[in-house]
């Protein structure tokens, strides 16, 4: 898959010289609803024997439209993670458009001419609720008129789970509750974050529970604070882990939030390594213990729960 970063106004030489089927959306998390859109686009591309392209943005449109602060925005997926999932779904080209004021203020017809026809789309596939143009003024129904017979418009119905729409908002709510089972079911894969192992207070090893402190990319949306059953990929191998997201309240009054993983059956120094953490199950909230012994006793219980969990669940569960 080729990733093509585009900044408005773009240079036509950046655009591959062939027709494509183009899937449109912001695709935060690339959840099961999004995957449905891309799979439909893939079918159309295969039928037409064309390449499959996806268009998305470098950051969320609300930064421009609702003046949200780009620094504090949190996402279910980074551009890198989206790219991995798109690739696994058979996407050939991933257009990442810089969502700027200049791009956002394109009138719908100009957007369609430059960013749909201009990307050589023979067909466009998007979810039923896709909108475009300044402040979302044009929808999928109107797209047919703007298309002027240059490309086909294919609308994908919403994907529901029981009565509820599968949406990034519902996934964010599930993460805020620590409901990983729901989040992961809606995502269609186990929620994961990436980060680098950094130094903590070197206390973990004294407790008998060394923890890899993980610095995550600043736009990462973390599940709620608490203790979790996780898996962690270090140097190409998946391990079982028990993770804590919190403030080490037993020891410190106002410590910044940390993400730490005690890795089972592991004994190596891994500072500076990039790791991937998958979040399987919320165990409990963070507790302020009256002493170290109580914390250690609880950590032993958390470890036992982790071992029991992985007796019923495969460590290498297939996940995108």
Ligand X SMILES: Nc1ncnc2c1ncn2[C@@H]1O[C@H](COP(=O)(O)OP(=O)(O)O)[C@@H](O)[C@H]1O
Q: Tell me how far apart the alpha carbons of residues 191 and 159 are, in angstroms, rounded to a whole number.
A: 19
Q: Which is nearer to ligand X, 152 or 305 (CB)?
A: 305
φ, ψ of residue 257 to 5 degrees: the values are -65, 135
User: Which one, 85 or 227, has the nearer CB to ligand FMN?
Assistant: 227
Binding partner of residue 249 among ligand FMN, ligand X, none, CB cut-off 5 to 8 Å per kind: ligand FMN
The distance of closest approach from Cβ of residue 85 to ligand X in the complex, given in angstroms and rounded to an integer, is 28
Interface with ligand FMN, residue 155, by CB under 6 A? no
Residue 235: CB atoms within 10 Å: 9
- CB 61, CB 101: distance < 8 Å: no
Of ligand FMN, ligand X, none, which one does residue 244 interact with (CB within 5 to 8 Å by kind)?
A: ligand FMN
Question: Among residues 55 and 212, whose Cβ is nearest to ligand X?
Answer: 212
What's the Cα-to-Cα distance from 178 to each of 139, 171, 175, 191, 224, rounded to whole Å? Answer: 34, 10, 5, 12, 5
* Contact flags string 265-294 toward ligand X, x per CB under 6 A: -xxxxxx-----------------------
Q: Taking contact as CB under 6 A, which single stretch among the options 93-101, 132-140, 204-212, 310-318 is the one that binds ligand FMN?
A: 204-212
* Residues numbered 183-202 forming contacts with ligand X, rule: CB under 6 A: 197, 199-202
Q: Which residues contact 23 (CB under 8 A, 6 or more apart)?
A: 37, 38, 41, 52, 53, 54, 55, 91, 124, 125, 126
Which CB sits closer to ligand FMN, 128 or 251? 251
Per CB under 6 A, the list member of 157, 201, 217, 317 interacting with ligand FMN is 201
Q: Are 126 and 24 in contact (CB under 8 A)?
A: yes
Minimum distance from residue 223 beta carbon to ligand FMN (Å): 14
Return the residue nearest ligand X (CB atom).
Answer: 204
Q: Rule CB under 6 A: choose which of 202, 253, 269, 318 binds ligand FMN.
A: 202
Classify strands 237-246 and 258-263 as parallel, antiparallel or unpaired. Answer: antiparallel
Candidates 77, 98, 99; CA nearest to 88 is: 77
The number of residues that bind ligand FMN (CB under 6 A) is 23
Residue 85's binding partner out of ligand FMN, ligand X, none, with CB under 5 to 8 Å set by partner kind = none
Binding positions for ligand X, 208-247, rule CB under 6 A = 210-213
Beta strands in the chain (DSSP E): 2-6, 20-24, 51-57, 93-97, 121-127, 131-132, 138-139, 152-156, 160-161, 164-165, 192-198, 212-216, 226-234, 237-246, 258-263, 274-284
Instruction: Give the Å distances, CA to CA, from 106 to 16, 296, 308.
Output: 22, 59, 55
Residues that bind ligand X (CB under 6 A): 197, 199-205, 210-213, 262-263, 266-271
Residues that bind ligand FMN (CB under 6 A): 200-204, 209, 211, 213, 227, 242, 244, 248-251, 260, 262, 286-287, 289, 295, 299, 302
């Amino acid at each position: 898959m080729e990733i093509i970063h585009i900044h408005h106004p773009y240079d036509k030489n950046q655009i591959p010289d062939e027709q494509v089927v183009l899937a449109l959306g912001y695709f935060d998390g690339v959840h099961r609803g999004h995957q449905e859109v891309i799979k439909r686009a893939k079918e159309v591309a295969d039928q037409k024997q064309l390449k499959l392209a996806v268009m998305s943005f470098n950051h969320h449109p609300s930064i421009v439209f609702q003046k949200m602060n780009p620094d504090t925005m949190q996402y279910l997926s980074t551009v890198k993670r989206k790219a991995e999932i798109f690739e696994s779904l058979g996407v050939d080209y991933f257009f990442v458009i810089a969502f700027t004021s200049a791009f956002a203020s394109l009138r719908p017809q100009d957007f369609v001419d430059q960013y749909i026809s201009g990307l050589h789309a023979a067909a466009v596939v998007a979810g039923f609720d896709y909108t475009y143009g300044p402040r979302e003024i044009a929808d999928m129904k109107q797209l047919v008129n703007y298309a002027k017979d240059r490309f086909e418009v294919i609308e994908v119905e919403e994907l529901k789970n029981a009565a509820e729409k599968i949406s990034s908002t519902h996934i964010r709510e599930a993460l805020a509750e620590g409901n990983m089972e729901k989040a992961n079911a809606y995502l269609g894969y186990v929620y994961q974050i990436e980060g680098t192992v950094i130094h903590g207070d070197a206390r973990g090893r004294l407790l008998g529970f060394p923890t890899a402190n993980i610095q995550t990319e600043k736009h990462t949306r973390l599940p709620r604070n608490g203790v979790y059953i996780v898996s962690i990929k270090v140097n190409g191998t998946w391990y079982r882990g028990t993770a804590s997201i919190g403030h080490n309240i037993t020891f410190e009054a106002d410590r910044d939030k940390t993400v730490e993983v005690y890795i089972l059956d592991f004994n190596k120094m891994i500072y500076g390594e990039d790791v991937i953490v998958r979040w399987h199950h919320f165990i409990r909230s963070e507790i302020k213990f009256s002493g170290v012994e109580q914390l250690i006793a609880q950590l032993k219980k958390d470890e036992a729960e982790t071992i029991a969990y992985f007796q019923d669940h495969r460590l290498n569960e297939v996940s995108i």
